[in-house]
Chain A
Amino acid sequence: MAEYTVKDKLSFLKAAAGSGRRLLAPSSKDGRVRLAEVTPDRVAFDYLNTHLSPKDAFFPQTEKMLAFHKDAAKPGAFVYQPLGLDKIQPTVVFGLRPCDARGLAVCDRVFQNDRFTDPYWKTKYEGAVKIGLACQAPGPNCFCTAVGGSPFGEDGLDVLAFTKGEGLGLKTLTPAGDEFLKGLSGLESGGAAGEMDGLKKAAESRLPGPLDLAKAQAAPVMEIYNQPHWKETADRCLNCGTCTFFCPTCHCFDIQDEENERGGVRMRNWDTCMSWLYTIHGSGHNPRPTKTERVRQRFMHKLKYIPLKQGGACGCVGCGRCVQHCPVNIDIRAVAVDMSK
């Protein structure tokens, strides 16, 4: 893999935007930083992280999957028409934080694995060159290092960049990253990797040490499942969906048809396991009848089931969004400690 430097961030972004790919990058709108399609001059650099996680770029809150209408020629029959997949453009995403890129990699293993391939995810995720921007000044709620990540982490990225004066240092991590940077003008070879090591150590030293998840991850599922602390945490949980909607690894959705007498649209929408509606059966039975089961599910999924299913990868990437936004201060770090007691 290769390393490069550029003297001027803006000229790099202009080259990226001129590559024939759509540029998605953090930019400020109404006082809030979000990942959006922007012109190079609008790209933000002075942000801790985007307000919402970047999953929306690959897994939108509402995604239309297909349209259907009554077949005029054949009574009782419908005509189906796939939606959206043909409109997906090749993209370059600049400015992903390493925690979020790692979160997208967790989602990727859900949407593409030896059992399923989700075309809506695959087309967007694989069609994007993902350029991360390392965190040289991590935020107050950040804890990537507590869950196996790093402010200079490389999981899920094609290129990792860091700020170097007015310019950038860049390190390619995949063939797709190599290919993309090779095609851009204005890059000088070398001069990044050595400096990166020192910056990485400095940034990591400002973040918390690892959470002790070994016991929770080694214990049998039912032992953790039956722990008494779940009810206490659930007591104050409001069962709103804030944590799940802000989480870069929450990926659950609900498929709905919206129709009229002529036809309609099939779409999938973000769903949240915090809602009773998420698990209610057609019979009226609800296998997660109270807040306790729902709260337990969320944390078991992040800290137990995902590691079990994904070869040990933690389902929490330490972005800190749920800690910041939970109205009742349910802190996943404290829950992890309870699970490890």
Chain B
Amino acid sequence: MTSLADLNQNIQTAARRALADGRAEVVFGYRQGTAPFTAAPHFARTPEDCGQFVWTSFARVNLAAYLPKYPGKVALIARGCEARSAVGQVVESQFPRENLYVIGVGCQGMVDPEAVLAREKRPIREVTEDLTTINLAGDGWTASLPKAEVLRRNCKTCVCRTPKDLADEMLGGDAPPLPADDFADLKALAAKPPQEKMAYFKGLVKDCLRCYACRQACPLCYCPVCFVDETRPQWLGKSNDAMDTFTFHLLRAFHCAGRCTSCGACEAACPMDIKLREFNRLLEEEVQKDWQFVPGASWDQKPPLTTYRPDDEADFIK
């Protein structure tokens, strides 16, 4: 791949082909956003619509989150995490495999706006990008930053930058693999006394507004009614009470255990920049270790916490 313009062209061509071949009635991808650091999910149903597709480093959500119960055949222009989450939707019976066509794209990671703003204090009026850099412009100045230096936290330890094992077709070159998350920071935390762990996790969500952007952006949160929205009976208070807020995050994390693909949509959607993945990361490691299961890696293996085998470890039952 020589340029972003070439990649955009390839994405648009592949999308038109998926529509023309009858593989899909709609193609999910992104179009350019209307403000700095934004991109808009774009659903193309005609060849003309496909002309707006772009590759963007500012995708804040996970397109697989739109799949559950979506009527008709869908082609998904998918980063690695999105391909893995789409596999998850299929495995969890939320979307039929035969209605899904995955157009995989090698991905060098999404850009974290907060990381850019930490480096560049002047007001940024325009953001453009090419394959490896983002270009900033303000009042009478321009600057460039290598994307690799301002990646989103989850993208720094991505284990599926090139989803060629999952995609029905691949675009773009292979993105060089990265070292996986070693969870060192959380393992250190896990060794601390319970009070310290509690203080850490409570501190993470002290600014939470309970806007539920994390839940709404999450491809795993497809329950018709979330437990926090139940009213008969109402399980959880509606105020900004710290324990109610904490309960929401803790329960959501356990609901996602062994299913999360670390796509980071929760953190990218959060308007308060809460490190929401901290609730999930160690659970991922436990599931990998105890069940040798990586979410979204196989089209037919169910997540371990949704299945029962007689030989499952049960030594925690006394």
A residues touching B (Cβ–Cβ < 8 Å)?
30, 48, 61-62, 137, 139-141, 235-236, 238-242, 244-246, 254, 256, 258, 267, 269, 272, 275-277, 280, 320, 323-331, 333-334
Given contacts A236-B41, A325-B271, A329-B35, contact A242 B213 (CB under 8 A): yes
Least Cβ–Cβ distance between B72 and chain A, in angstroms = 13
Is the pair B231, A277 in contact by a Cβ cutoff of 8 Å? yes
The answer to whether A62 and B41 touch across the interface, beta carbons within 8 angstroms, is no
Contact A327 B268 (CB under 8 A): yes
Contact flags (1/0) for B173-213 with A, using CB distance below 8 Å?
A: 00000000000000000000000000000000001011111
Report which of B35, B65, B125, B207 forms a contact with A324, defined as CB distance below 8 A. Answer: B35
Q: What residues of A have a CB within 8 angstroms of the CB of B215 in the complex?
A: 240
Roughly how many angstroms separate A240 CA and B265 CA in the complex, as a whole number? 13
Q: Name the distance in Å between A150's Cβ and chain B's nearest Cβ.
A: 19
Residues of B within 8 A of A241 (CB): 209-213
- A238–B269 contact, CB under 8 A? yes
Asked if B123 is at the interface of the complex by the 8 Å CB criterion, the answer is yes
B43 within 8 A of A: yes
Q: Does the CB pair A140–B213 fall under 8 Å? A: no
Q: Please pick, from B33, B40, B125, B239, the residue contacting A140 in the complex, using a CB distance under 8 A.
A: B125
A61 adjacent to B209 (CB under 8 Å): yes
- Additional 15 contacts, C-beta under 8 A, given A61-B209, A245-B211, A327-B61: A139-B123, A140-B124, A140-B126, A141-B36, A235-B43, A242-B213, A258-B237, A258-B239, A269-B238, A276-B229, A277-B229, A325-B271, A326-B38, A327-B213, A328-B61
Nearest residue, chain B, Cβ from A62: B239
Across the interface, which residues of A come within 8 angstroms of B271, CB to CB? 242, 245-246, 325
Instruction: Kindly provide the distance from the CB of B178 to the nearest chain A CB, expressed in whole angstroms.
Output: 25
* B34, A327: Cβ atoms closer than 8 Å: no
List 22 contacting pairs A-B, 8 Å CB cutoff, sorted by A. A61-B239, A62-B241, A236-B42, A236-B43, A238-B61, A239-B216, A240-B212, A240-B213, A240-B269, A242-B271, A245-B211, A254-B238, A256-B237, A276-B229, A277-B231, A324-B35, A324-B37, A325-B271, A327-B60, A327-B213, A327-B268, A329-B40
Shortest CB-to-CB span from B265 to chain A, Å, is 8
**CB nearest to A271 among chain B residues:** B238
CB–CB A141/B35 < 8 A: yes
The minimal Cβ–Cβ distance linking A44 to chain B, given in whole angstroms, is 14
Residues of A within 8 A of B35 (CB): 140-141, 320, 323-324, 329, 331
Closest to A29 in B: B207
Give the residues in chain B near A275, CB-CB below 8 Å. Answer: 212, 229
CB–CB B216/A238 < 8 A:
yes
Judge whether B39 is part of the interface by a CB distance below 8 angstroms.
yes
Closest to B266 in A: A327
> Which chain A residues border B66 with CB–CB below 8 Å?
236
| C-alpha spacing A271/B282, complex, angstroms | 33
Tell whether B217 is near chain A: CB-to-CB under 8 Å.
yes
A241 to B215, CA, bound (A): 11
B44-81 interface code vs A (CB 8 A; 1 in, 0 out): 00000000000000001100011000000000000000
Residue of chain B at shortest CB distance from A321? B271
Contacts of B41 in A (CB 8 A): 236, 328-329
Contact B209 A245 (CB under 8 A): yes
Task: State whether B240 touches A238 (Cβ < 8 A).
Answer: no
Chain B residue at minimal CB-CB distance from A138: B123
Which residue of B is nearest A256, CB measured? B238
Contacts A61-B209, A329-B34 given; does A240 touch B123 at CB 8 Å:
no
